[in-house]
Amino acid sequence: MSFSIATWNINSVRLRVDSVTRFLKEADLDVICLQEIKCQDADFPIKAFEKAGYKHIQVRGQKGHHGVATVSRLPLEPLPEPKHCARGQARVAVSKIAGVEIHNFYVPSGGDEPDPEINDKFAHKLDFWARLAKTFKKDRARLEKQPVIVVGDLNVAPGEHDVHNHKRLLKYVGHTPVEAEAYAKARDAGGFVDIGRAVIPEPEQMPTWWSYRVKAWSPESPGWRLDHMWASPALLAEAVAGGRGGFGVHHNTRTWEKPSDHVPVTLRFTP
- Average pLDDT for runs of 10 along the chain of length 271: 91 97 97 97 96 97 90 96 82 96 97 96 96 95 95 98 96 98 98 97 96 82 96 95 95 94 95 72
**CATH number, domain at 137?**
3.60.10.10
Q: Which strands make up the sheet holding 193-194, listed edge to edge?
A: 76-79, 92-97, 100-106, 148-153, 227-231, 193-194
Query: pLDDT tens across 234-267, in order?
Result: 999 999 999 999 999 999 999 999 999 999 999 9
How far is the C-alpha of 253 from the C-alpha of 265, rounded, in Å?
Answer: 11
Range of the domain at 121: 3-269
Count how many domains the chain has: 1
Query: pLDDT tens across 164-197, in order?
Result: 999 999 999 999 999 999 999 999 999 999 999 9
- pTM for the full predicted model: 0.96
Closest CA to 85 of 59, 116, 123: 123
Which stretches of the chain are assigned E, i.e. beta strand? Answer: 3-9, 31-35, 56-60, 68-72, 76-79, 92-97, 100-106, 148-153, 193-194, 227-231, 247-249, 265-269
